[in-house]
Amino acid sequence: MAPEARELARAAEVLRAGGLVAFPTETVYGLGADATDDRAVAAIYAAKGRPSFNPLIVHVLDAAAAAEYVTITPLARSLMGRFWPGPLSIVLPRTADCALSLLVSAGLPTAAVRAPAHPLARDLLAACGRPVAAPSANRSGAVSPTTAAHVAGSLPGPDAGGPRVILDGGPCRMGLESTVVDATGDVPVILRPGGVTAEEIEAVVGSVREVTAAATGDEGLASPGMLARHYAPGKRVRLNAQRAEGGEALLAFGPGAPADALNLSPSGDLTEAAANLFAMLHALDAGLAPAIAVMPVPERGLGRAINDRLRRAAQPEDAP
Ligand code: TXA
Ligand code: MG
Protein backbone atom coordinates (compact mmCIF):
# COMPACT_ATOMS: atom_id res chain seq x y z
CA MET A 1 0.00 0.00 0.00
CA ALA A 2 1.24 3.50 -0.79
CA PRO A 3 2.07 5.54 2.35
CA GLU A 4 -0.87 7.90 1.70
CA ALA A 5 -3.31 4.99 1.35
CA ARG A 6 -1.97 3.43 4.55
CA GLU A 7 -2.38 6.72 6.43
CA LEU A 8 -5.93 7.08 5.13
CA ALA A 9 -6.82 3.52 6.17
CA ARG A 10 -5.36 4.19 9.61
CA ALA A 11 -7.35 7.43 9.92
CA ALA A 12 -10.59 5.64 9.00
CA GLU A 13 -9.81 2.95 11.58
CA VAL A 14 -9.16 5.56 14.27
CA LEU A 15 -12.54 7.19 13.51
CA ARG A 16 -14.39 3.87 13.65
CA ALA A 17 -12.76 3.15 16.99
CA GLY A 18 -14.00 6.44 18.45
CA GLY A 19 -10.76 8.42 18.07
CA LEU A 20 -10.07 11.88 16.65
CA VAL A 21 -8.63 12.58 13.19
CA ALA A 22 -7.75 15.97 11.71
CA PHE A 23 -8.31 16.17 7.96
CA PRO A 24 -8.25 18.78 5.18
CA THR A 25 -11.39 20.13 3.54
CA GLU A 26 -11.60 22.76 0.79
CA THR A 27 -12.48 25.34 3.47
CA VAL A 28 -10.30 24.70 6.54
CA TYR A 29 -8.93 21.63 8.35
CA GLY A 30 -11.50 19.80 10.47
CA LEU A 31 -11.13 17.87 13.74
CA GLY A 32 -13.26 14.82 13.07
CA ALA A 33 -14.99 12.14 15.10
CA ASP A 34 -17.70 9.56 14.44
CA ALA A 35 -20.84 11.73 14.72
CA THR A 36 -22.88 8.79 16.07
CA ASP A 37 -20.50 8.21 19.00
CA ASP A 38 -21.18 10.41 22.05
CA ARG A 39 -17.81 9.83 23.64
CA ALA A 40 -15.96 10.55 20.42
CA VAL A 41 -17.91 13.79 19.90
CA ALA A 42 -17.30 14.80 23.51
CA ALA A 43 -13.58 14.31 22.87
CA ILE A 44 -13.77 17.00 20.13
CA TYR A 45 -15.19 19.54 22.56
CA ALA A 46 -12.49 18.63 25.07
CA ALA A 47 -9.61 18.85 22.59
CA LYS A 48 -10.79 22.26 21.37
CA GLY A 49 -11.73 23.60 24.78
CA ARG A 50 -15.01 24.49 23.10
CA PRO A 51 -18.07 25.86 24.95
CA SER A 52 -20.50 22.99 25.16
CA PHE A 53 -23.43 24.94 23.68
CA ASN A 54 -21.75 25.28 20.30
CA PRO A 55 -23.05 22.61 17.86
CA LEU A 56 -20.87 20.87 15.25
CA ILE A 57 -21.15 20.35 11.51
CA VAL A 58 -21.70 16.75 10.39
CA HIS A 59 -19.81 15.80 7.22
CA VAL A 60 -21.38 13.31 4.81
CA LEU A 61 -20.68 12.20 1.23
CA ASP A 62 -23.93 13.35 -0.33
CA ALA A 63 -27.64 14.14 0.06
CA ALA A 64 -28.55 10.45 0.36
CA ALA A 65 -26.22 10.05 3.32
CA ALA A 66 -27.59 13.25 4.91
CA ALA A 67 -31.15 11.94 4.55
CA GLU A 68 -30.35 9.16 7.03
CA TYR A 69 -30.09 11.77 9.80
CA VAL A 70 -31.99 14.93 8.84
CA THR A 71 -35.21 15.75 7.01
CA ILE A 72 -34.35 17.16 3.59
CA THR A 73 -36.71 20.07 2.89
CA PRO A 74 -37.43 21.10 -0.74
CA LEU A 75 -35.26 24.17 -0.14
CA ALA A 76 -32.39 22.00 1.11
CA ARG A 77 -32.76 19.74 -1.91
CA SER A 78 -32.22 22.73 -4.24
CA LEU A 79 -29.23 23.97 -2.27
CA MET A 80 -27.60 20.54 -2.18
CA GLY A 81 -28.16 20.14 -5.92
CA ARG A 82 -26.34 23.38 -6.65
CA PHE A 83 -23.65 23.63 -3.96
CA TRP A 84 -22.76 20.08 -2.89
CA PRO A 85 -20.12 18.93 -2.63
CA GLY A 86 -18.83 22.29 -1.45
CA PRO A 87 -18.61 24.95 1.26
CA LEU A 88 -22.28 25.02 2.32
CA SER A 89 -23.48 23.63 5.68
CA ILE A 90 -27.24 23.16 5.84
CA VAL A 91 -29.18 23.21 9.12
CA LEU A 92 -32.13 20.81 9.02
CA PRO A 93 -34.44 19.06 11.49
CA ARG A 94 -33.05 15.84 12.97
CA THR A 95 -35.14 12.83 11.96
CA ALA A 96 -37.22 11.16 14.68
CA ASP A 97 -34.83 8.18 14.91
CA CYS A 98 -31.69 10.20 14.19
CA ALA A 99 -28.57 8.21 15.08
CA LEU A 100 -26.39 11.31 15.43
CA SER A 101 -25.09 12.02 18.90
CA LEU A 102 -27.22 14.66 20.63
CA LEU A 103 -23.96 16.42 21.41
CA VAL A 104 -23.44 17.41 17.77
CA SER A 105 -26.66 19.42 18.01
CA ALA A 106 -25.80 20.82 21.43
CA GLY A 107 -29.40 20.64 22.52
CA LEU A 108 -31.00 21.96 19.31
CA PRO A 109 -33.63 19.90 17.40
CA THR A 110 -31.54 20.42 14.26
CA ALA A 111 -28.20 19.32 12.81
CA ALA A 112 -25.93 21.03 10.29
CA VAL A 113 -24.83 18.75 7.43
CA ARG A 114 -22.20 19.37 4.77
CA ALA A 115 -20.69 17.34 1.91
CA PRO A 116 -17.07 18.52 1.57
CA ALA A 117 -15.43 18.69 -1.86
CA HIS A 118 -11.82 17.93 -0.87
CA PRO A 119 -10.78 14.52 -2.26
CA LEU A 120 -9.02 13.47 0.96
CA ALA A 121 -12.08 14.37 3.04
CA ARG A 122 -14.28 12.37 0.67
CA ASP A 123 -11.91 9.39 0.71
CA LEU A 124 -11.94 9.48 4.50
CA LEU A 125 -15.76 9.59 4.66
CA ALA A 126 -15.98 6.69 2.20
CA ALA A 127 -13.35 4.63 4.03
CA CYS A 128 -14.83 5.03 7.50
CA GLY A 129 -18.48 4.70 6.47
CA ARG A 130 -19.68 7.01 9.23
CA PRO A 131 -20.95 10.59 9.35
CA VAL A 132 -18.06 12.69 10.68
CA ALA A 133 -18.62 15.58 13.09
CA ALA A 134 -15.90 18.15 12.54
CA PRO A 135 -15.41 21.71 13.68
CA SER A 136 -12.34 23.59 12.54
CA ALA A 137 -9.23 21.88 13.94
CA ASN A 138 -8.05 24.65 16.25
CA ARG A 139 -8.47 25.54 19.89
CA SER A 140 -11.80 27.25 20.46
CA GLY A 141 -11.61 30.95 19.62
CA ALA A 142 -8.29 30.72 17.77
CA VAL A 143 -7.67 31.28 14.07
CA SER A 144 -8.91 28.43 11.87
CA PRO A 145 -6.20 26.15 10.41
CA THR A 146 -5.56 26.09 6.67
CA THR A 147 -2.48 23.82 6.82
CA ALA A 148 -1.61 20.63 8.71
CA ALA A 149 1.12 22.60 10.54
CA HIS A 150 -1.50 25.04 11.89
CA VAL A 151 -3.42 22.06 13.28
CA ALA A 152 -0.37 20.57 14.97
CA GLY A 153 0.48 23.99 16.42
CA SER A 154 -2.96 24.63 17.87
CA LEU A 155 -4.29 21.32 19.25
CA PRO A 156 -2.87 19.06 21.94
CA GLY A 157 -0.90 15.97 20.90
CA PRO A 158 -2.44 12.48 20.69
CA ASP A 159 -1.54 11.61 24.27
CA ALA A 160 -3.13 14.79 25.61
CA GLY A 161 -6.52 14.37 23.97
CA GLY A 162 -5.63 15.69 20.50
CA PRO A 163 -6.01 13.93 17.13
CA ARG A 164 -4.37 10.49 16.65
CA VAL A 165 -3.83 11.28 12.95
CA ILE A 166 -3.43 14.56 11.07
CA LEU A 167 -3.99 13.94 7.35
CA ASP A 168 -1.95 16.42 5.31
CA GLY A 169 -3.63 17.67 2.13
CA GLY A 170 -1.55 20.83 1.75
CA PRO A 171 -3.05 24.33 2.08
CA CYS A 172 -6.86 24.58 1.86
CA ARG A 173 -8.15 25.92 -1.44
CA MET A 174 -10.90 28.22 -0.03
CA GLY A 175 -9.27 29.05 3.28
CA LEU A 176 -12.54 30.28 4.78
CA GLU A 177 -15.18 28.20 6.55
CA SER A 178 -18.40 27.06 4.93
CA THR A 179 -21.50 29.20 4.85
CA VAL A 180 -24.02 27.95 7.43
CA VAL A 181 -27.59 28.25 6.19
CA ASP A 182 -30.82 27.33 7.96
CA ALA A 183 -33.02 25.53 5.40
CA THR A 184 -35.72 24.30 7.78
CA GLY A 185 -38.26 26.73 6.25
CA ASP A 186 -39.05 28.13 2.80
CA VAL A 187 -36.49 30.93 2.82
CA PRO A 188 -32.80 30.22 3.48
CA VAL A 189 -31.37 32.07 6.48
CA ILE A 190 -27.61 32.60 6.51
CA LEU A 191 -26.40 32.00 10.06
CA ARG A 192 -22.71 32.37 9.21
CA PRO A 193 -21.32 33.94 6.02
CA GLY A 194 -18.71 31.75 4.33
CA GLY A 195 -17.47 30.15 1.13
CA VAL A 196 -20.83 30.34 -0.68
CA THR A 197 -22.07 33.93 -0.94
CA ALA A 198 -25.58 35.26 -0.27
CA GLU A 199 -25.71 36.35 -3.91
CA GLU A 200 -25.01 32.79 -5.10
CA ILE A 201 -27.72 31.37 -2.84
CA GLU A 202 -30.23 34.00 -3.93
CA ALA A 203 -29.50 33.21 -7.57
CA VAL A 204 -30.57 29.60 -6.99
CA VAL A 205 -33.59 29.91 -4.72
CA GLY A 206 -34.78 33.48 -5.34
CA SER A 207 -34.46 34.87 -1.84
CA VAL A 208 -32.22 34.82 1.20
CA ARG A 209 -32.17 36.28 4.70
CA GLU A 210 -29.06 37.06 6.67
CA VAL A 211 -28.47 37.03 10.38
CA THR A 212 -25.58 39.46 10.38
CA ALA A 213 -25.36 41.02 13.83
CA ALA A 214 -22.50 39.40 15.70
CA ALA A 215 -24.30 37.42 18.33
CA THR A 216 -23.21 37.76 21.90
CA GLY A 217 -22.74 34.14 22.85
CA ASP A 218 -26.05 33.78 24.67
CA GLU A 219 -27.68 30.42 24.60
CA GLY A 220 -30.67 30.05 22.32
CA LEU A 221 -28.99 31.79 19.41
CA ALA A 222 -29.89 30.64 15.93
CA SER A 223 -26.23 29.81 15.39
CA PRO A 224 -24.61 29.57 18.78
CA GLY A 225 -21.18 29.38 17.22
CA MET A 226 -21.33 33.03 16.32
CA LEU A 227 -19.48 34.13 19.43
CA ALA A 228 -18.54 37.76 19.08
CA ARG A 229 -14.86 37.05 19.59
CA HIS A 230 -13.78 34.15 17.47
CA TYR A 231 -11.22 33.39 14.82
CA ALA A 232 -8.93 35.54 16.88
CA PRO A 233 -5.17 35.87 16.93
CA GLY A 234 -3.65 36.50 20.34
CA LYS A 235 -2.94 40.17 19.55
CA ARG A 236 -4.83 43.45 19.28
CA VAL A 237 -6.35 43.81 15.80
CA ARG A 238 -7.31 47.24 14.40
CA LEU A 239 -9.63 47.37 11.38
CA ASN A 240 -10.06 49.88 8.54
CA ALA A 241 -6.44 50.95 8.81
CA GLN A 242 -4.77 52.83 5.97
CA ARG A 243 -1.29 52.20 7.35
CA ALA A 244 0.46 50.57 10.29
CA GLU A 245 1.02 52.75 13.33
CA GLY A 246 3.36 52.35 16.33
CA GLY A 247 4.24 48.68 16.71
CA GLU A 248 1.61 47.35 14.31
CA ALA A 249 2.18 44.94 11.44
CA LEU A 250 -0.04 45.71 8.44
CA LEU A 251 -2.35 43.21 6.78
CA ALA A 252 -2.95 44.86 3.43
CA PHE A 253 -5.54 44.44 0.69
CA GLY A 254 -5.39 45.56 -2.91
CA PRO A 255 -2.96 47.50 -5.09
CA GLY A 256 -1.31 50.57 -3.68
CA ALA A 257 -0.53 48.97 -0.34
CA PRO A 258 3.00 49.20 1.05
CA ALA A 259 5.11 46.60 -0.74
CA ASP A 260 6.61 45.19 2.47
CA ALA A 261 3.21 44.37 4.06
CA LEU A 262 1.54 40.97 3.88
CA ASN A 263 -1.18 41.49 1.28
CA LEU A 264 -4.40 39.43 1.23
CA SER A 265 -4.60 40.09 -2.49
CA PRO A 266 -2.38 42.63 -4.25
CA SER A 267 -4.81 42.64 -7.19
CA GLY A 268 -7.87 43.11 -4.95
CA ASP A 269 -9.32 39.66 -5.66
CA LEU A 270 -11.69 38.52 -2.89
CA THR A 271 -11.31 34.80 -3.59
CA GLU A 272 -7.55 35.09 -3.24
CA ALA A 273 -8.00 37.17 -0.08
CA ALA A 274 -10.26 34.52 1.47
CA ALA A 275 -7.71 31.81 0.75
CA ASN A 276 -4.92 33.87 2.37
CA LEU A 277 -6.83 35.27 5.37
CA PHE A 278 -6.18 32.70 8.08
CA ALA A 279 -2.66 31.80 6.97
CA MET A 280 -1.70 35.48 7.09
CA LEU A 281 -3.36 35.99 10.48
CA HIS A 282 -1.38 32.97 11.71
CA ALA A 283 1.84 34.45 10.32
CA LEU A 284 1.19 37.87 11.89
CA ASP A 285 0.28 36.22 15.17
CA ALA A 286 3.62 34.39 15.16
CA GLY A 287 5.56 37.52 14.12
CA LEU A 288 7.30 40.09 16.31
CA ALA A 289 4.87 43.02 16.04
CA PRO A 290 2.64 43.26 19.14
CA ALA A 291 -0.44 44.39 17.19
CA ILE A 292 -2.07 44.01 13.77
CA ALA A 293 -3.62 46.69 11.55
CA VAL A 294 -5.91 45.56 8.72
CA MET A 295 -6.80 47.56 5.62
CA PRO A 296 -10.47 47.73 4.56
CA VAL A 297 -11.90 44.88 2.47
CA PRO A 298 -14.99 45.61 0.31
CA GLU A 299 -18.27 44.41 1.84
CA ARG A 300 -19.50 42.39 -1.15
CA GLY A 301 -19.43 38.73 -2.21
CA LEU A 302 -16.78 36.82 -0.22
CA GLY A 303 -15.77 40.15 1.33
CA ARG A 304 -18.77 39.79 3.66
CA ALA A 305 -17.39 36.57 5.15
CA ILE A 306 -13.86 37.97 5.28
CA ASN A 307 -15.06 41.08 7.14
CA ASP A 308 -17.16 38.94 9.48
CA ARG A 309 -14.03 37.00 10.50
CA LEU A 310 -11.96 40.19 10.79
CA ARG A 311 -14.56 41.88 13.02
CA ARG A 312 -14.51 38.86 15.32
CA ALA A 313 -10.72 38.81 15.37
CA ALA A 314 -10.78 42.49 16.41
CA GLN A 315 -13.12 42.03 19.40
CA PRO A 316 -11.38 42.83 22.70
CA GLU A 317 -10.33 39.71 24.57
CA ASP A 318 -12.84 40.14 27.40
CA ALA A 319 -15.80 40.14 24.97
CA PRO A 320 -18.11 37.13 25.38
O1 TXA B 1 -15.90 24.94 6.69
C2 TXA B 1 -16.37 24.52 7.74
O3 TXA B 1 -17.57 24.66 8.02
C4 TXA B 1 -15.42 23.78 8.71
C5 TXA B 1 -14.96 22.51 8.02
C6 TXA B 1 -14.15 21.64 8.93
O7 TXA B 1 -16.06 21.81 7.49
N8 TXA B 1 -16.11 23.52 9.94
C9 TXA B 1 -16.44 24.51 10.81
O10 TXA B 1 -17.09 24.07 11.92
O11 TXA B 1 -16.18 25.67 10.64
P12 TXA B 1 -17.27 24.93 13.23
O13 TXA B 1 -17.71 23.94 14.25
O14 TXA B 1 -16.04 25.70 13.55
O15 TXA B 1 -18.46 25.88 12.93
C16 TXA B 1 -19.77 25.37 12.86
C17 TXA B 1 -20.77 26.49 12.81
C18 TXA B 1 -20.91 27.17 14.14
O19 TXA B 1 -21.11 28.56 13.93
C20 TXA B 1 -22.15 26.50 14.71
O21 TXA B 1 -22.79 27.25 15.69
C22 TXA B 1 -22.98 26.29 13.47
O23 TXA B 1 -22.04 25.95 12.48
N24 TXA B 1 -23.93 25.20 13.63
C25 TXA B 1 -23.65 23.88 13.69
N26 TXA B 1 -24.77 23.16 13.89
C27 TXA B 1 -25.79 24.05 13.96
C28 TXA B 1 -27.19 23.94 14.15
N29 TXA B 1 -27.78 22.76 14.35
N30 TXA B 1 -27.92 25.06 14.14
C31 TXA B 1 -27.33 26.26 13.97
N32 TXA B 1 -26.00 26.44 13.78
C33 TXA B 1 -25.23 25.35 13.77
MG1 MG C 1 -14.27 27.22 14.08
CATH of the domain at 150: 3.90.870.10
Residue 219's pLDDT band (boundaries 50, 70, 90)?
A: very low
With a 6 Å cutoff on the Cβ, whether 70 touches ligand 1 is: no
Nearest-atom index, ligand 1, CA of 137: 6
Interatomic CA distance for residues 305 and 299, integer angstroms:
9
Q: Determine which of 107-111, 130-134, 161-165, 294-298 has the lowest per-residue pLDDT on average.
A: 107-111
With a 6 Å cutoff on the Cβ, whether 178 touches ligand 1 is: yes
Number of domains the chain contains? 2
- Ligand 2 centroid–CA 200 distance in Å is 23
- State pLDDT tens for residues 107-123: 788 999 999 999 999 99
Task: Return the CATH number at 272.
Answer: 3.40.50.11030
Tell me what the mean pLDDT of segment 224-233 comes to: 58
Tell me what the mean pLDDT of segment 28-56 comes to: 87
- Determine, yes or no, domain membership for 103: yes
If asked whether residues 152 and 297 sit together in one domain, one would say no
- Ligand 2 centroid–CA 140 distance in Å is 7
| Residue 302, pLDDT above cutoff 50 | yes
- Counting ligands in written order, the one closest to the CA of 92 is 1
With a 6 Å cutoff on the Cβ, whether 223 touches ligand 1 is: yes
Task: Give the residue with greater pLDDT, 50 vs 150.
Answer: 150
For position 223, what pLDDT does the model report? 56
Q: Determine which of 168-177, 196-205, 207-216, 304-313 has the lowest per-residue pLDDT on average.
A: 207-216
- Ligand 2 centroid–CA 136 distance in Å is 4
Tell me what the mean pLDDT of segment 16-30 comes to: 98
- Ligand 1 centroid–CA 55 distance in Å is 7
Mean per-residue pLDDT over the chain, rounded: 90
Residue 217's pLDDT band (boundaries 50, 70, 90)?
A: very low
- Determine, yes or no, domain membership for 220: no
- Determine, yes or no, domain membership for 225: no
If asked whether residues 143 and 70 sit together in one domain, one would say yes
- Determine, yes or no, domain membership for 227: no
Nearest-atom index, ligand 1, CA of 57: 25
With a 6 Å cutoff on the Cβ, whether 105 touches ligand 1 is: yes
For position 178, what pLDDT does the model report? 97
- Ligand 1 centroid–CA 315 distance in Å is 20
Interatomic CA distance for residues 238 and 293, integer angstroms:
5
Residue 274's pLDDT band (boundaries 50, 70, 90)?
A: confident
pTM: 0.84
User: Contacts for 64-67 with beta carbons within 8 Å, 24 or more apart?
Assistant: 65/115, 65/131, 66/90, 66/92, 66/113, 66/115
If asked whether residues 169 and 299 sit together in one domain, one would say no
Domain residues for the domain of 97 are 3-210
If asked whether residues 61 and 193 sit together in one domain, one would say yes
- Counting ligands in written order, the one closest to the CA of 29 is 1
Question: Ligand 2 (ion): which residues have CB within 5 A?
Answer: 136
For position 42, what pLDDT does the model report? 83
Which of 192, 210, 228 terminates a domain? The answer is 210
Residue 216's pLDDT band (boundaries 50, 70, 90)?
A: very low
With a 6 Å cutoff on the Cβ, whether 179 touches ligand 1 is: no
- Determine, yes or no, domain membership for 320: no
If asked whether residues 249 and 111 sit together in one domain, one would say no
Interatomic CA distance for residues 42 and 104, integer angstroms:
9
